[in-house]
Structure 1
Protein backbone atom coordinates (compact mmCIF):
# COMPACT_ATOMS: atom_id res chain seq x y z
CA UNK A 1 0.00 0.00 0.00
CA UNK A 2 1.24 3.50 -0.85
CA UNK A 3 1.77 6.00 1.92
CA UNK A 4 -1.32 8.01 2.83
CA UNK A 5 -1.45 11.41 1.15
CA UNK A 6 -1.34 13.74 4.16
CA UNK A 7 0.12 11.76 7.05
CA UNK A 8 2.68 10.01 4.80
CA UNK A 9 2.35 6.68 6.63
CA UNK A 10 1.93 3.06 5.59
CA UNK A 11 0.64 0.11 7.67
CA UNK A 12 4.11 -0.90 8.90
CA UNK A 13 4.65 2.56 10.40
CA UNK A 14 2.01 2.51 13.14
CA UNK A 15 0.69 0.58 16.09
CA UNK A 16 -2.93 -0.46 16.65
CA UNK A 17 -3.36 2.44 19.09
CA UNK A 18 -2.59 5.98 17.92
CA UNK A 19 -2.67 9.02 20.22
CA UNK A 20 -3.92 12.25 18.66
CA UNK A 21 -2.71 15.53 20.17
CA UNK A 22 -3.51 18.73 18.34
CA UNK A 23 -0.25 20.48 19.18
CA UNK A 24 2.57 19.44 16.85
CA UNK A 25 5.18 19.80 19.60
CA UNK A 26 3.08 17.71 21.98
CA UNK A 27 3.57 14.64 19.78
CA UNK A 28 7.22 14.52 20.88
CA UNK A 29 6.21 15.09 24.51
CA UNK A 30 3.88 12.10 24.34
CA UNK A 31 6.42 9.95 22.49
CA UNK A 32 8.94 10.65 25.26
CA UNK A 33 6.68 8.56 27.54
CA UNK A 34 7.15 5.48 25.33
CA UNK A 35 9.83 2.94 26.24
CA UNK A 36 11.34 3.72 22.83
CA UNK A 37 10.23 5.99 19.99
CA UNK A 38 11.32 7.38 16.65
CA UNK A 39 9.95 9.96 14.23
CA UNK A 40 8.50 8.03 11.28
CA UNK A 41 6.81 10.83 9.31
CA UNK A 42 6.47 14.61 9.24
CA UNK A 43 4.23 16.37 6.74
CA UNK A 44 2.32 19.60 7.25
CA UNK A 45 0.98 19.49 10.83
CA UNK A 46 1.06 15.69 10.94
CA UNK A 47 4.11 14.54 12.93
CA UNK A 48 4.12 10.84 13.79
CA UNK A 49 6.29 8.99 16.27
CA UNK A 50 6.07 5.22 16.73
CA UNK A 51 7.68 2.99 19.31
CA UNK A 52 7.15 0.42 22.01
CA UNK A 53 5.43 0.53 25.38
CA UNK A 54 5.33 -2.57 27.59
CA UNK A 55 5.92 -4.78 24.59
CA UNK A 56 3.29 -3.34 22.25
CA UNK A 57 3.72 -0.94 19.35
CA UNK A 58 2.07 2.45 19.82
CA UNK A 59 2.06 5.68 17.83
CA UNK A 60 1.27 9.36 18.17
CA UNK A 61 0.18 11.65 15.33
CA UNK A 62 -0.34 15.39 15.79
CA UNK A 63 -3.42 16.72 13.99
CA UNK A 64 -3.28 20.49 14.29
CA UNK A 65 -6.23 22.54 15.50
CA UNK A 66 -9.86 21.60 14.89
CA UNK A 67 -12.01 18.75 13.72
CA UNK A 68 -11.39 19.19 10.00
CA UNK A 69 -7.65 18.59 10.36
CA UNK A 70 -8.23 15.73 12.80
CA UNK A 71 -10.66 14.03 10.40
CA UNK A 72 -8.01 13.87 7.67
CA UNK A 73 -5.63 12.09 10.03
CA UNK A 74 -8.34 9.73 11.28
CA UNK A 75 -9.50 8.72 7.81
CA UNK A 76 -5.95 7.97 6.69
CA UNK A 77 -4.94 6.20 9.92
CA UNK A 78 -7.95 3.90 9.74
CA UNK A 79 -7.07 2.99 6.14
CA UNK A 80 -3.68 1.69 7.28
CA UNK A 81 -4.91 -0.34 10.21
CA UNK A 82 -5.40 1.84 13.28
CA UNK A 83 -7.84 0.19 15.70
CA UNK A 84 -7.84 2.59 18.65
CA UNK A 85 -7.82 6.40 18.42
CA UNK A 86 -7.18 8.41 21.58
CA UNK A 87 -7.20 12.19 21.50
CA UNK A 88 -4.97 13.69 24.20
CA UNK A 89 -5.69 17.39 24.43
CA UNK A 90 -6.74 20.41 26.43
CA UNK A 91 -9.89 22.46 26.87
CA UNK A 92 -11.67 25.10 28.90
CA UNK A 93 -13.65 23.89 31.89
CA UNK A 94 -17.31 24.93 31.91
CA UNK A 95 -18.31 23.78 35.40
CA UNK A 96 -17.06 25.64 38.48
CA UNK A 97 -16.91 22.56 40.71
CA UNK A 98 -14.22 20.88 38.63
CA UNK A 99 -10.53 21.33 39.51
CA UNK A 100 -8.16 23.36 37.36
CA UNK A 101 -6.09 21.76 36.12
CA UNK A 102 -8.18 18.62 35.99
CA UNK A 103 -8.26 15.54 33.80
CA UNK A 104 -11.46 14.54 32.04
CA UNK A 105 -12.36 11.30 30.32
CA UNK A 106 -14.88 12.31 27.66
CA UNK A 107 -17.86 9.98 27.39
CA UNK A 108 -19.64 11.91 24.65
CA UNK A 109 -19.70 15.23 22.85
CA UNK A 110 -22.18 17.90 21.82
CA UNK A 111 -21.59 18.19 18.08
CA UNK A 112 -21.49 21.95 17.69
CA UNK A 113 -18.97 21.75 14.87
CA UNK A 114 -19.53 21.93 11.14
CA UNK A 115 -17.50 18.92 10.06
CA UNK A 116 -19.73 16.23 11.55
CA UNK A 117 -22.73 17.81 9.79
CA UNK A 118 -21.05 17.08 6.46
CA UNK A 119 -20.47 13.46 7.44
CA UNK A 120 -23.63 12.54 9.34
CA UNK A 121 -27.33 13.43 9.55
CA UNK A 122 -28.53 15.56 12.46
CA UNK A 123 -28.79 13.58 15.67
CA UNK A 124 -25.92 11.19 14.96
CA UNK A 125 -24.35 10.49 18.37
CA UNK A 126 -20.77 11.35 19.24
CA UNK A 127 -20.17 8.73 21.92
CA UNK A 128 -16.92 7.27 23.22
CA UNK A 129 -16.32 3.55 22.87
CA UNK A 130 -17.46 1.75 26.03
CA UNK A 131 -14.36 -0.42 26.34
CA UNK A 132 -12.13 2.60 25.78
CA UNK A 133 -13.80 4.55 28.60
CA UNK A 134 -13.72 1.53 30.88
CA UNK A 135 -10.00 1.03 30.21
CA UNK A 136 -9.25 4.73 30.77
CA UNK A 137 -11.04 4.82 34.11
CA UNK A 138 -9.38 1.58 35.23
CA UNK A 139 -5.97 2.89 34.18
CA UNK A 140 -6.48 6.14 36.08
CA UNK A 141 -7.42 4.15 39.17
CA UNK A 142 -4.36 1.90 38.80
CA UNK A 143 -2.15 5.00 38.56
CA UNK A 144 -3.93 6.80 41.43
CA UNK A 145 -4.71 9.76 39.15
CA UNK A 146 -7.99 11.58 39.79
CA UNK A 147 -10.19 11.94 36.73
CA UNK A 148 -13.76 13.02 36.03
CA UNK A 149 -15.92 11.80 33.19
CA UNK A 150 -18.56 13.58 31.15
CA UNK A 151 -19.35 15.53 27.98
CA UNK A 152 -17.45 18.00 25.84
CA UNK A 153 -18.98 20.82 23.84
CA UNK A 154 -17.16 20.56 20.50
CA UNK A 155 -17.19 23.72 18.40
CA UNK A 156 -15.21 25.35 15.60
CA UNK A 157 -14.88 29.04 16.48
CA UNK A 158 -12.18 29.23 19.14
CA UNK A 159 -12.57 33.00 19.58
CA UNK A 160 -16.32 32.63 20.03
CA UNK A 161 -16.01 30.06 22.79
CA UNK A 162 -12.91 30.61 24.90
CA UNK A 163 -11.59 32.97 27.56
CA UNK A 164 -9.77 34.82 24.76
CA UNK A 165 -13.09 35.89 23.23
CA UNK A 166 -14.44 39.43 23.19
CA UNK A 167 -17.95 37.96 23.13
CA UNK A 168 -20.07 36.99 26.12
CA UNK A 169 -19.02 33.35 26.11
CA UNK A 170 -21.08 32.50 29.19
CA UNK A 171 -24.22 33.57 27.33
CA UNK A 172 -23.16 31.40 24.39
CA UNK A 173 -22.34 28.45 26.62
CA UNK A 174 -25.24 28.78 29.09
CA UNK A 175 -27.38 26.00 27.54
CA UNK A 176 -24.47 23.57 27.78
CA UNK A 177 -23.40 24.70 31.24
CA UNK A 178 -26.98 24.26 32.48
CA UNK A 179 -27.09 20.81 30.87
CA UNK A 180 -23.99 19.74 32.78
CA UNK A 181 -21.48 19.68 29.93
CA UNK A 182 -18.03 19.72 31.52
CA UNK A 183 -15.58 21.22 29.05
CA UNK A 184 -15.26 23.08 25.75
CA UNK A 185 -12.82 22.00 23.07
CA UNK A 186 -12.88 21.35 19.33
CA UNK A 187 -12.18 17.76 18.34
CA UNK A 188 -14.09 15.21 20.44
CA UNK A 189 -17.22 15.13 18.28
CA UNK A 190 -15.08 14.42 15.22
CA UNK A 191 -12.93 11.76 16.87
CA UNK A 192 -15.82 9.92 18.51
CA UNK A 193 -18.39 10.00 15.72
CA UNK A 194 -15.90 9.25 12.95
CA UNK A 195 -14.36 6.38 14.93
CA UNK A 196 -17.82 4.90 15.42
CA UNK A 197 -18.65 5.23 11.74
CA UNK A 198 -15.34 3.65 10.69
CA UNK A 199 -15.82 0.79 13.19
CA UNK A 200 -12.78 1.51 15.32
CA UNK A 201 -12.55 2.60 18.95
CA UNK A 202 -12.51 6.29 19.77
CA UNK A 203 -11.67 7.98 23.05
CA UNK A 204 -10.75 11.42 24.35
CA UNK A 205 -8.88 12.51 27.47
CA UNK A 206 -8.41 16.21 28.21
CA UNK A 207 -6.52 18.38 30.65
CA UNK A 208 -8.31 21.60 31.60
CA UNK A 209 -6.26 24.77 31.21
CA UNK A 210 -8.77 27.10 32.86
CA UNK A 211 -12.38 27.75 33.80
CA UNK A 212 -14.64 29.79 31.53
CA UNK A 213 -16.80 31.00 34.42
CA UNK A 214 -13.73 32.17 36.34
CA UNK A 215 -11.02 33.24 33.84
CA UNK A 216 -8.66 34.08 36.67
CA UNK A 217 -8.69 30.39 37.62
CA UNK A 218 -6.00 29.19 35.22
CA UNK A 219 -3.42 26.43 35.40
CA UNK A 220 0.26 27.31 35.43
CA UNK A 221 2.57 26.02 32.72
CA UNK A 222 4.11 23.60 35.23
CA UNK A 223 0.68 22.30 36.22
CA UNK A 224 -0.27 21.75 32.58
CA UNK A 225 2.93 19.84 31.87
CA UNK A 226 2.06 17.45 34.71
CA UNK A 227 -1.58 17.18 33.63
CA UNK A 228 -0.62 16.28 30.05
CA UNK A 229 1.91 13.79 31.39
CA UNK A 230 -0.76 12.17 33.59
CA UNK A 231 -3.21 12.02 30.67
CA UNK A 232 -0.50 10.39 28.56
CA UNK A 233 0.25 7.79 31.24
CA UNK A 234 -3.44 6.92 31.44
CA UNK A 235 -3.63 6.65 27.65
CA UNK A 236 -0.62 4.35 27.44
CA UNK A 237 -2.03 2.01 30.07
CA UNK A 238 -5.33 2.13 28.20
CA UNK A 239 -3.53 0.96 25.05
CA UNK A 240 -2.11 -1.99 27.00
CA UNK A 241 -5.53 -2.94 28.37
CA UNK A 242 -7.14 -2.77 24.92
CA UNK A 243 -4.33 -4.89 23.47
CA UNK A 244 -4.93 -7.51 26.16
CA UNK A 245 -8.68 -7.39 25.48
CA UNK A 246 -8.24 -7.86 21.74
CA UNK A 247 -5.50 -10.46 21.85
CA UNK A 248 -6.60 -12.45 24.89
CA UNK A 249 -3.47 -11.81 26.92
Structure 2
Protein backbone atom coordinates (compact mmCIF):
# COMPACT_ATOMS: atom_id res chain seq x y z
CA UNK A 1 0.00 0.00 0.00
CA UNK A 2 1.56 3.29 -1.14
CA UNK A 3 2.36 5.87 1.52
CA UNK A 4 4.99 8.48 2.39
CA UNK A 5 6.29 9.78 5.73
CA UNK A 6 3.61 12.49 5.60
CA UNK A 7 0.69 11.04 3.61
CA UNK A 8 -0.94 7.67 4.31
CA UNK A 9 -4.13 7.25 2.25
CA UNK A 10 -4.77 3.66 3.39
CA UNK A 11 -6.30 2.80 0.04
CA UNK A 12 -8.38 5.97 -0.39
CA UNK A 13 -7.82 7.49 -3.85
CA UNK A 14 -6.20 10.89 -4.37
CA UNK A 15 -7.51 12.82 -7.39
CA UNK A 16 -5.30 14.12 -10.18
CA UNK A 17 -6.22 17.66 -9.05
CA UNK A 18 -5.61 18.66 -5.43
CA UNK A 19 -6.62 21.91 -3.75
CA UNK A 20 -4.05 23.02 -1.18
CA UNK A 21 -5.25 25.38 1.56
CA UNK A 22 -2.61 25.97 4.19
CA UNK A 23 -5.03 25.28 7.04
CA UNK A 24 -6.14 21.62 7.34
CA UNK A 25 -9.40 22.82 8.93
CA UNK A 26 -10.10 24.81 5.76
CA UNK A 27 -9.57 21.57 3.82
CA UNK A 28 -12.12 19.90 6.08
CA UNK A 29 -14.55 22.81 5.62
CA UNK A 30 -14.34 22.51 1.83
CA UNK A 31 -14.82 18.73 1.93
CA UNK A 32 -17.81 18.95 4.24
CA UNK A 33 -19.56 21.82 2.45
CA UNK A 34 -18.74 21.37 -1.25
CA UNK A 35 -17.83 17.77 -2.01
CA UNK A 36 -20.02 14.66 -2.08
CA UNK A 37 -19.08 11.03 -1.37
CA UNK A 38 -16.17 12.28 0.72
CA UNK A 39 -13.43 9.97 1.98
CA UNK A 40 -10.59 11.12 4.21
CA UNK A 41 -7.20 10.09 2.81
CA UNK A 42 -4.84 11.62 5.35
CA UNK A 43 -4.63 12.27 9.08
CA UNK A 44 -0.83 12.09 9.51
CA UNK A 45 0.26 15.03 11.74
CA UNK A 46 -3.36 16.22 11.56
CA UNK A 47 -2.73 17.45 8.01
CA UNK A 48 -6.16 16.42 6.82
CA UNK A 49 -6.76 15.33 3.24
CA UNK A 50 -10.06 14.42 1.60
CA UNK A 51 -11.26 13.13 -1.76
CA UNK A 52 -14.80 13.62 -3.02
CA UNK A 53 -16.91 14.49 -6.03
CA UNK A 54 -17.72 17.91 -7.49
CA UNK A 55 -19.79 18.28 -10.66
CA UNK A 56 -19.32 14.59 -11.33
CA UNK A 57 -15.51 14.73 -11.15
CA UNK A 58 -13.13 13.52 -8.46
CA UNK A 59 -11.36 16.32 -6.56
CA UNK A 60 -9.05 16.16 -3.55
CA UNK A 61 -8.30 18.82 -0.97
CA UNK A 62 -5.50 18.75 1.59
CA UNK A 63 -3.85 21.11 4.03
CA UNK A 64 -0.27 22.08 3.18
CA UNK A 65 0.83 23.85 6.36
CA UNK A 66 2.66 27.16 6.61
CA UNK A 67 5.79 28.08 4.70
CA UNK A 68 7.67 26.79 1.68
CA UNK A 69 9.29 23.81 3.48
CA UNK A 70 5.91 22.41 4.52
CA UNK A 71 3.98 23.15 1.33
CA UNK A 72 6.76 21.96 -0.95
CA UNK A 73 7.17 18.59 0.72
CA UNK A 74 3.44 17.88 0.39
CA UNK A 75 3.53 19.06 -3.22
CA UNK A 76 6.52 16.80 -3.93
CA UNK A 77 4.92 13.72 -2.38
CA UNK A 78 1.56 14.30 -4.05
CA UNK A 79 3.24 14.60 -7.45
CA UNK A 80 5.96 11.96 -7.26
CA UNK A 81 4.27 9.28 -5.14
CA UNK A 82 0.58 9.73 -5.89
CA UNK A 83 0.65 10.99 -9.48
CA UNK A 84 -1.08 14.34 -8.92
CA UNK A 85 -1.01 16.48 -12.07
CA UNK A 86 -2.56 19.78 -10.95
CA UNK A 87 -1.96 21.64 -7.68
CA UNK A 88 -4.13 24.64 -6.82
CA UNK A 89 -3.17 26.56 -3.71
CA UNK A 90 -6.08 28.40 -2.09
CA UNK A 91 -4.75 30.53 0.71
CA UNK A 92 -4.78 33.88 2.41
CA UNK A 93 -2.48 36.82 1.78
CA UNK A 94 -1.58 40.22 3.11
CA UNK A 95 -2.38 43.03 0.71
CA UNK A 96 0.43 45.38 -0.29
CA UNK A 97 -1.23 47.64 -2.88
CA UNK A 98 -3.82 50.37 -2.24
CA UNK A 99 -6.40 48.87 -4.59
CA UNK A 100 -6.69 45.70 -2.52
CA UNK A 101 -9.45 45.37 0.09
CA UNK A 102 -10.23 42.62 2.60
CA UNK A 103 -11.76 39.53 0.92
CA UNK A 104 -10.54 40.53 -2.57
CA UNK A 105 -9.10 37.66 -4.61
CA UNK A 106 -5.48 37.72 -5.77
CA UNK A 107 -4.08 35.29 -8.35
CA UNK A 108 -0.33 34.69 -8.46
CA UNK A 109 0.85 34.87 -12.06
CA UNK A 110 4.33 34.67 -10.55
CA UNK A 111 5.94 34.52 -7.13
CA UNK A 112 8.95 36.44 -5.94
CA UNK A 113 10.65 35.14 -2.82
CA UNK A 114 13.27 35.77 -0.15
CA UNK A 115 13.68 32.00 0.29
CA UNK A 116 16.74 29.95 -0.69
CA UNK A 117 14.55 27.02 -1.74
CA UNK A 118 15.39 27.27 -5.46
CA UNK A 119 19.14 27.03 -4.79
CA UNK A 120 18.82 23.24 -4.65
CA UNK A 121 18.25 23.16 -8.42
CA UNK A 122 21.70 24.70 -9.03
CA UNK A 123 20.49 26.83 -11.91
CA UNK A 124 22.96 29.19 -13.61
CA UNK A 125 20.78 32.21 -12.86
CA UNK A 126 17.56 33.26 -11.10
CA UNK A 127 14.46 31.11 -11.62
CA UNK A 128 11.10 32.92 -11.82
CA UNK A 129 8.36 30.67 -10.33
CA UNK A 130 5.33 31.05 -12.61
CA UNK A 131 1.74 29.82 -12.71
CA UNK A 132 0.35 27.37 -15.22
CA UNK A 133 -1.30 29.41 -17.96
CA UNK A 134 -4.01 26.79 -18.55
CA UNK A 135 -5.09 26.95 -14.91
CA UNK A 136 -4.75 30.73 -14.68
CA UNK A 137 -6.80 31.31 -17.83
CA UNK A 138 -9.45 28.82 -16.65
CA UNK A 139 -9.79 30.67 -13.34
CA UNK A 140 -10.00 33.99 -15.18
CA UNK A 141 -12.79 32.64 -17.40
CA UNK A 142 -14.64 31.24 -14.39
CA UNK A 143 -14.29 34.57 -12.55
CA UNK A 144 -15.77 36.40 -15.53
CA UNK A 145 -18.74 34.01 -15.66
CA UNK A 146 -19.34 34.48 -11.91
CA UNK A 147 -18.83 38.26 -12.02
CA UNK A 148 -15.83 38.15 -9.69
CA UNK A 149 -13.03 40.70 -9.94
CA UNK A 150 -9.52 39.27 -9.84
CA UNK A 151 -6.21 40.97 -9.07
CA UNK A 152 -3.58 39.09 -11.10
CA UNK A 153 0.14 39.67 -10.78
CA UNK A 154 3.26 39.05 -8.74
CA UNK A 155 3.15 37.98 -5.09
CA UNK A 156 5.89 37.58 -2.50
CA UNK A 157 6.43 34.15 -0.94
CA UNK A 158 8.30 35.07 2.20
CA UNK A 159 10.03 32.91 4.79
CA UNK A 160 9.42 35.61 7.40
CA UNK A 161 6.08 36.38 9.07
CA UNK A 162 7.27 38.66 11.89
CA UNK A 163 9.71 40.83 9.99
CA UNK A 164 12.59 42.57 11.79
CA UNK A 165 12.58 45.46 9.29
CA UNK A 166 8.98 46.47 8.36
CA UNK A 167 10.27 48.69 5.56
CA UNK A 168 11.09 45.54 3.56
CA UNK A 169 7.42 45.30 2.63
CA UNK A 170 7.43 48.82 1.24
CA UNK A 171 10.30 47.97 -1.09
CA UNK A 172 8.47 44.91 -2.44
CA UNK A 173 5.31 46.98 -2.87
CA UNK A 174 7.29 49.61 -4.81
CA UNK A 175 8.13 46.85 -7.32
CA UNK A 176 4.42 46.26 -7.89
CA UNK A 177 4.10 43.11 -5.77
CA UNK A 178 0.42 42.70 -4.96
CA UNK A 179 0.52 40.74 -1.73
CA UNK A 180 2.62 38.57 0.57
CA UNK A 181 2.12 34.91 1.54
CA UNK A 182 4.47 32.04 2.40
CA UNK A 183 4.15 29.04 0.06
CA UNK A 184 3.62 29.71 -3.64
CA UNK A 185 7.20 30.02 -4.90
CA UNK A 186 7.97 26.57 -3.48
CA UNK A 187 4.87 24.94 -4.96
CA UNK A 188 5.47 26.53 -8.38
CA UNK A 189 9.10 25.39 -8.37
CA UNK A 190 8.33 21.79 -7.40
CA UNK A 191 5.60 21.66 -10.04
CA UNK A 192 7.83 23.19 -12.72
CA UNK A 193 10.63 20.72 -12.05
CA UNK A 194 8.16 17.82 -12.27
CA UNK A 195 6.44 19.16 -15.39
CA UNK A 196 2.97 19.45 -13.82
CA UNK A 197 0.55 22.36 -13.45
CA UNK A 198 0.20 24.68 -10.48
CA UNK A 199 -1.75 27.81 -9.61
CA UNK A 200 -2.14 29.82 -6.43
CA UNK A 201 -4.91 32.21 -5.52
CA UNK A 202 -5.68 33.94 -2.28
CA UNK A 203 -8.26 35.86 -0.34
CA UNK A 204 -6.90 39.07 1.17
CA UNK A 205 -7.00 38.42 4.93
CA UNK A 206 -5.20 41.58 6.02
CA UNK A 207 -3.48 44.65 4.61
CA UNK A 208 0.07 45.49 5.59
CA UNK A 209 -0.33 49.25 5.24
CA UNK A 210 -4.01 49.87 6.00
CA UNK A 211 -4.01 48.06 9.35
CA UNK A 212 -7.03 45.91 8.46
CA UNK A 213 -7.36 42.18 9.18
CA UNK A 214 -9.81 39.28 9.36
CA UNK A 215 -10.25 36.87 12.28
CA UNK A 216 -8.92 33.30 12.35
CA UNK A 217 -12.51 31.99 12.12
CA UNK A 218 -13.15 34.14 9.05
CA UNK A 219 -9.98 32.78 7.44
CA UNK A 220 -11.17 29.23 8.10
CA UNK A 221 -14.82 29.54 7.05
CA UNK A 222 -15.51 32.79 5.17
CA UNK A 223 -13.32 32.56 2.08
CA UNK A 224 -16.20 30.90 0.23
CA UNK A 225 -16.04 33.06 -2.92
CA UNK A 226 -12.52 31.81 -3.61
CA UNK A 227 -13.62 28.21 -3.00
CA UNK A 228 -16.63 28.52 -5.30
CA UNK A 229 -14.44 30.11 -7.97
CA UNK A 230 -11.81 27.38 -8.05
CA UNK A 231 -13.87 24.21 -7.60
CA UNK A 232 -15.39 24.24 -11.12
CA UNK A 233 -11.86 24.61 -12.50
CA UNK A 234 -10.57 21.75 -10.36
CA UNK A 235 -13.42 19.54 -11.64
CA UNK A 236 -12.65 20.12 -15.33
TM-score by length of 2: 0.91
In 1, the alpha carbon distance for the partners of 2:207 and 2:222 equals: 15
Contact preservation (8 Å) 2:55, 2:232: no
Asked whether 1:141 is paired with 2:136, we answer no
Correspondence for 1:36: 37
The number of equivalent residue pairs is 233
Asked whether 1:89 is paired with 2:85, we answer no
SS at match of 1:95: coil
Correspondence for 1:4: 4
Contact preservation (8 Å) 1:111, 1:126: no
Give the Å deviation of 1:12.
Answer: 5.7
* 1:178 paired residue among 146, 163, 174: 174
Change (3 A) 1:76 1:193: same
Correspondence for 2:184: 188
TM-score by length of 1: 0.86
The one-character-per-residue Cα deviations of 1:184-234 (angstroms, maximum 9, x if unpaired) are: 00001011121111111000010111111111x224668656752111111
In 2, the alpha carbon distance for the partners of 1:173 and 1:108 equals: 17
List alignment gaps of at least 5 residues for structure 1: 161-166, 244-249
Change (3 A) 1:75 1:11: farther
Correspondence for 2:21: 21
List alignment gaps of at least 5 residues for structure 2: none
Post-superposition, which runs of at least 4 consecutive aligned residues in structure 1 deviate over 6 A? Answer: none
Change (3 A) 1:120 1:52: farther
Give the Å deviation of 1:8.
Answer: 1.3
Correspondence for 1:197: 193
SS at match of 1:150: strand
In 1, the alpha carbon distance for the partners of 2:144 and 2:221 equals: 17
Change (3 A) 1:222 1:7: closer
The one-character-per-residue Cα deviations of 1:154-199 (angstroms, maximum 9, x if unpaired) are: 1111111xxxxxx442x11222111110000000101112111111
* 2:158 paired residue among 152, 155, 179: 155
Contact preservation (8 Å) 2:92, 2:219: no
Contact preservation (8 Å) 2:108, 2:201: yes
Give the Å deviation of 1:47.
Answer: 1.2
In 1, the alpha carbon distance for the partners of 2:100 and 2:50 equals: 33
Query: What is the aligned-residue RMSD (CA, Å)?
Result: 2.0
Correspondence for 1:235: 230
Contact preservation (8 Å) 2:24, 2:49: no
